[in-house]
Amino acid sequence: MATSFHAARYSQMEYRRCGKSGIKLPAVSLGLWHNFGYVDTLENGRDILRLAFDAGITHFDLANNYGPPPGAAEENFGRILQRDFTNHRDELIISTKAGYTMWEGPYGDWGSKKYLVSSLDQSLRRMKLDYVDIFYHHRPDPETPLEETMRALDLIVRQGKALYAGISNYPATEAARAIRILRELGTPCLIHQPKYSMFERWVEDGLLSLLDAEGVGCIPFSPLAQGMLTDKYLHGIPADSRAAKAHGFLKESQITDARLQQIRQLNDLATQRGQKLAHMALAWILKDKRVTSVLVGASRPEQLADSLRCLENTRFSTDELAAIERILG
């Protein structure tokens, strides 16, 4: 039986043009980094994806190593796709990446043509897809010539296994080279996916300006700084938080007294704006028109629905922006 979705879903979402391309992305996109692995409940992941599409989110972002274990998120996504989205594939932008360790030996990591082509073939099998819309190189490779890595992206697009090429985690200087090489090859770089939040602002040191000048989109990940830019840490570190888990990416040592003070001051400002801290943190990124979309994760449908409330107010007064800069120091 075909899955039915909200008839007015596209009227609920803002769509932004991705650089100088023909593609528009939803202002909020869904990342499947966490909560879609074998350790998670498939039905919960299904509910998250269904709610996302019902809300006008057309872009689902994956990578070969998302899980756990690596590959699990793509496989589970493929199952849900076949179950619920068979009739909607042409309405979706599905992206995946390669650049981190996936298998043993010298060909299962980094940026060689051998690795990138093999990895995408595996990703397509896991998701049961003929192609992805965007294929990213996930991180720069310090040893493989950048020309080889970009030629691999160009080859993949020409083979029809991806419609567009992207890069992720590239500093401005390397991004400039990658963008130039791809343009010369005839496969323009569609988009860059950097880490960006109120607490991590390296993209402001040249990268955002570069992407704007080159007509390349920008889709930041980790906009809530692994949960620090939410109300979760207002009263210290809760036992069930990422910072409290030994295997988490957010370390307890990152939650310093100075950081907690910043979080509380930002929360006070968000309250004055009639928002939660998380809503303000997402809106703060989206205020910049050089940003195409922002990637959010969700552990349950209600969390995603809450994140979408950031779109209710993405305007900041001059005084509010100045106050944020004072808090961040």
pLDDT band at residue 233, thresholds of 50, 70 and 90? Answer: confident
* Residues 322, 329: Cα–Cα separation, whole Å: 10
Summary mean pLDDT of the chain: 95
For residue 238, pLDDT over 80 is answered with no
Backbone angles phi, psi at 136, to 5 degrees: -105, 145
**What is the per-residue pLDDT across 153-164, written as a single tens digit (0 to 9) for each?**
999 999 999 999
**For residue 235, what pLDDT is reported?**
81
H helices of 193-242, where?
207-214
Residue 247 has pLDDT above 90, yes or no: no
pTM of the model: 0.95
Q: Give the pLDDT confidence score for residue 249 in this predicted structure.
A: 62
Q: Are strands 217-218 and 294-296 parallel, antiparallel or unpaired?
A: unpaired
Residue 25 pLDDT greater than 70, yes or no = yes
Residue 224, CA distances (Å) to 38, 45, 201, 281 in order: 24, 20, 12, 7
Residues 105 and 112 sit within 8 Å (Cβ to Cβ): no
As a whole number, mean pLDDT of residues 203-212 equals 98
- Burial level of 184, CB count in 10 A (0-12/13-18/19+)? exposed
What are the chain's domains?
9-328 (3.20.20.100)
In whole angstroms, what is the distance from residue 297 CA to residue 180 CA? 31
Question: According to the model, what pLDDT value does residue 232 have?
Answer: 87
Q: What is the pLDDT of residues 52-93, one digit of tens each?
A: 999 999 999 999 999 999 999 999 999 999 999 999 999 999
Look at the block and give the residue holding tokens 């990703």.
123
Tokens of 122: 């595996």
